[in-house]
């Protein structure tokens, strides 16, 4: 970890002598006003001995203030000493993410100012056209113990908070979102919130609060007293013991939240300032993350996955002449399905191993090595599910052995902690996996905060209330995900349920699992949501029965050259157009309210396009599986009139005339 050492001359500033509550004490204060590159965002920064604060306005309207920014290192509270604000510098650069979930090329444009406190503390403030971010850089000898990392955010009046509650620092990050006033949040039964969280104001003003480049440091939680939003952090565990095959009991905690190098940068604290459409298009977490450290990433293969857990590994079609379950014949059937529709992976979830504590022995019916070989003949890769504790106990040999077997993808589950030790566990895993060209999907996980860009073999995280929760996964909650959870990185929502029901009709469970909302809602999720590994959660039998829907779903890429938000309102509806190559995909979803839209197609390059689309049927408000498929020729001058049933969706593919039909 490198410290930030300014190498430019600082602007000389006048020092003001201010009276404080301590009689006759002179405080040297430095102030500056910064602007975003386009001038729309203004930041007024004040720094002094023991004091840093700033206020943010957009187009002349005050939005929020941040004060009480400080670090507590043992008995030392920073900042301390004379503050000196340097010159504002402008940066303009572009880069290409290894796994592009929104854009294959990202512009990184911002203005930056550095406040120095002597030679061992720097406060770095960046202003973008759609965000403000800060971090500390320290340059102290040896290790430091961080006891607290403080700030207070005070939004202007009228903002509503949408947050995912957490019962404690031990959480799976899979709770439903709550939208309340700050006062009601403070009085609620679970005032602790996971990060990111959203503040929504008048005229669709959206403030998304997050963090990036979290390394050797705990993840942040937020709380409020009704006026200020402040952070809380889990303390560093000193001793722990296993609990069962996938958990741990922490026996002793340190008094600090991190013990770390004294010469390093600390995580970015940021607020994205935009509207609902802007939330769908912003790339701030990518811009603030570390760049890829792996060099050649051609071996990293994002893709779609046939997943058996949600549907109980129970195919039942006329071609099923074997006993279904976690066995060789069943997984061969899933591999055949994956090969037929061009899926990259099949996932062997819990049950494939003879013992969850032993990652090297398949159950007796699996014929694991024979299965891996069979999948290879089909051009399909195997993903193995593992509890995190088993990975930790075999990390020195696990990926080496799997590499020899020909397994280069794992799903690791049940971490449910976000302290410094667990953050470092994630990094140790993906670093070791990368040595053997292995990709990783974390479940039971916290939300992304930059590691996936430093190690792009980390293709997805859960940390989301997804389809795995079956009847608890409702469109009213799903409509927050593109604006909050997916706004910070890949989310393994596991879409694709073909047994569709409106909430009041919902009656389902494994092996006949069901999804709340319409059939086309599930299809559109493959375009609206982002993940480097995108599951097909339902049974191959159902996908064969719904072949035209399946062909559409499996035509959707998981990486994109370009993203356009066409219509959006956080928590209500999202309609997104994405481009991969010359082909455009449009996906739209709504909450439990039906809606109509007229979409302009002026984002398309000149020419004619063949549209293949699926829309909710006239009866979809009651019979959620009702849909219609249609085709037409369109151009950029045309408009699309689309209707979304409640809990509904719309999905379409636009192809230049020389492209073939969506078939495998």
Q: What is the pLDDT of residues 461-477, one digit of tens each?
A: 999 999 999 999 999 99
Tens digit of pLDDT for each residue in 486-534?
999 999 999 999 999 999 999 999 999 999 999 999 999 999 999 999 9
**Overall average pLDDT of the 9-37 stretch:** 51
Distance CA 642, CA 368 (A): 47
Residue 372 lies in a domain: no
Domain stops at, among 288, 317, 344 = 288
User: Residue 289 and residue 282: Cα distance in Å, rounded?
Assistant: 14
Residue spans of beta strands (DSSP E) within 462-618:
500-501, 515-516, 533-536, 562-569, 573-580, 583-590, 595-600, 609-616
Q: How many CB atoms lie within 10 A of CB 465?
A: 23
Q: Is residue 51 part of a domain?
A: yes
In a domain, 463, yes or no: no
Domain endpoint, select from 265, 288, 311: 288
Per-residue pLDDT reduced to its tens digit, 583-611: 999 999 999 999 999 999 999 999 999 99
Q: Which two tokens stand for residue 30?
A: 């430095």
Residue 257 belongs to some domain of the structure:
yes
Element (H, E) at 243: strand 237-243
Kindly report, residue by residue over 420-478, the tens digit of the pLDDT.
Answer: 999 999 999 999 999 999 999 999 999 999 999 999 999 999 999 999 999 999 999 99
Give yes or no for residue 27 having a pLDDT over 60: no
Nearest to 477 by CA among 568, 567, 571: 571
Query: What pLDDT digit, counting tens, does each position of 369-389 carry?
Result: 999 999 999 999 999 999 999
Token pair for 378: 């089909």
Task: Indicate the pTM of the whole model.
Answer: 0.94
Residue 425 in any domain: the answer is no
Which of 270, 288, 306 is the endpoint of a domain?
288
Q: Domain of 249?
A: 16-288
385 domain-assigned: no
Distance CA 429, CA 459 (A): 13
391: which strand partners? Answer: none
Please report, for the domain that includes residue 36, its CATH number: 2.70.98.10
What pLDDT score does 303 carry?
98
Residue 332 lies in a domain: no
Quick check: 469 and 444 in contact, CB under 8 A? no
Per-residue confidence (pLDDT) for residue 657, from 0 to 100: 74
CA–CA distance, 313 with 306 (Å, rounded to integer): 11
With residue 64 as reference, give the H or E element that holds it.
strand 61-73
Half-sphere exposure of 34 (CA within 13 A, CB side): 30
pLDDT reported for residue 659: 58
- Per-residue confidence (pLDDT) for residue 190, from 0 to 100: 86
The per-residue pLDDT for range 611-640, each reduced to its tens digit, is: 999 999 999 999 999 999 999 999 999 999
Please report the pLDDT score of residue 8 as a whole number.
31
pLDDT in tens, 37-92: 999 999 999 999 999 999 999 999 999 999 999 999 988 999 999 999 999 999 99
What is the rounded (10 degree) CA torsion for 118, 123, 126, 127?
-100
In a domain, residue 294? The reply is no
pLDDT of residue 545: 97
Tokens of 365: 């019916």
Q: What CATH number does residue 485 fall under?
A: 3.20.20.70
As for how many domains the chain has, the answer is 2
Burial of 386 per CB tally in 10 Å (0-12, 13-18, 19+): buried
Helix axes 420-435, 398-405, angle to 10 degrees: 30
- Both tokens of 470, joined, read 């079956």
């Amino acid at each position: 970890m490198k410290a930030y050492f300014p190498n430019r001359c600082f602007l000389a500033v006048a020092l003001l002598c201010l009276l404080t509550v301590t009689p006759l004490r002179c405080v040297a204060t430095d102030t500056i006003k910064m602007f975003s590159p386009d001038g729309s965002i203004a930041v007024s920064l004040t720094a002094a001995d023991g004091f840093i604060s700033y206020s943010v306005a957009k187009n002349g309207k005050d939005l929020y203030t941040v004060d009480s920014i400080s670090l507590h290192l043992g008995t030392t509270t920073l900042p301390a000493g004379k503050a000196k604000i340097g010159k504002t510098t402008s940066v303009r650069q572009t880069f290409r993410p290894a796994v592009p979930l929104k854009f294959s090329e990202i512009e990184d444009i911002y203005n930056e100012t550095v406040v120095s406190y002597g030679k061992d503390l720097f406060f770095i403030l960046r202003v973008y056209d759609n965000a403000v971010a800060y971090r500390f850089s320290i340059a102290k000898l040896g290790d430091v113990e961080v006891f607290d990392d403080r700030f207070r955010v005070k939004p202007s009046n009228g903002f509503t908070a949408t947050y995912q509650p957490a019962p404690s620092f031990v959480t799976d990050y899979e709770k439903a979102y709550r939208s309340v006033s700050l006062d009601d949040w403070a009085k609620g039964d679970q005032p602790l919130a996971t990060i990111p969280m959203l503040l929504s104001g008048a005229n669709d003003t959206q403030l998304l609060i997050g963090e990036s480049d979290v390394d050797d440091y705990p993840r942040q939680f937020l709380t409020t007293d009704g006026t200020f939003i402040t952070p809380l952090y889990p303390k560093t565990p000193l001793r722990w013991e296993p609990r069962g095959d996938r958990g741990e009991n922490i026996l002793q905690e340190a008094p600090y939240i991190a013990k770390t190098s004294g010469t390093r940068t600390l995580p970015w604290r940021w607020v994205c300032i935009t509207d609902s459409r802007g939330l769908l298009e912003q790339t701030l977490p990518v811009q603030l993350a570390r760049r890829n450290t792996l060099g050649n990433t051609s071996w990293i293969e994002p893709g779609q996955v046939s997943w058996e857990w949600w549907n109980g590994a129970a195919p039942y079609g006329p071609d099923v002449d074997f006993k279904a379950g976690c066995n060789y014949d069943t997984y061969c059937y899933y591999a055949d399905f994956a090969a037929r529709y061009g899926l990259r992976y099949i996932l062997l979830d819990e049950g494939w191993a003879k013992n969850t504590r032993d990652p090297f022995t398949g159950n007796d019916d699996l014929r694991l090595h024979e299965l891996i070989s069979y999948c290879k003949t089909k051009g399909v890769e195997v993903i193995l599910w593992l509890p995190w504790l088993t990975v930790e106990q075999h990390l020195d040999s696990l990926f080496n052995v799997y590499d020899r077997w020909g397994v280069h993808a794992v799903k690791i589950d049940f971490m449910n902690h976000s302290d410094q030790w667990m953050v470092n566990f994630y990094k140790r895993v993906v670093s070791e996996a990368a040595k053997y060209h292995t990709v990783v999907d974390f479940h039971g996980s916290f939300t992304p905060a930059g590691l996936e860009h430093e190690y792009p073999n980390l293709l997805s995280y859960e940390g989301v209330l997804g389809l795995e929760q079956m009847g608890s996964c409702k469109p009213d909650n799903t409509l927050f995900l593109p604006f909050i959870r997916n706004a910070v990185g890949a989310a393994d929502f596991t879409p694709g349920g073909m047994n569709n029901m409106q909430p009041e009709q919902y009656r389902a469970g494994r092996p006949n699992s069901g999804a709340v909302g319409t059939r086309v809602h599930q299809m559109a999720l493959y375009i609206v949501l982002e993940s480097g590994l995108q599951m097909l959660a339902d049974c191959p039998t159902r996908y064969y029965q719904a072949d035209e829907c399946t062909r559409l779903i499996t035509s959707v890429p998981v990486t994109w050259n370009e993203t356009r938000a066409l219509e959006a309102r956080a928590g209500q509806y999202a309609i997104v157009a994405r481009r991969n190559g010359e082909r455009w995909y449009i996906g739209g979803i709504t909450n439990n309210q039906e809606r109509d839209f007229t979409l302009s197609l002026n984002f398309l390059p000149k020419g004619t396009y063949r549209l293949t689309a699926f829309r909710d049927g006239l009866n979809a408000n009651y019979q959620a599986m009702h849909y219609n498929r249609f085709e037409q020729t369109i151009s950029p001058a045309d408009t699309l009139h689309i209707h979304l049933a409640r809990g509904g969706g719309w999905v379409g593919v636009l192809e230049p005339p020389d492209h073939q039909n969506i078939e495998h």
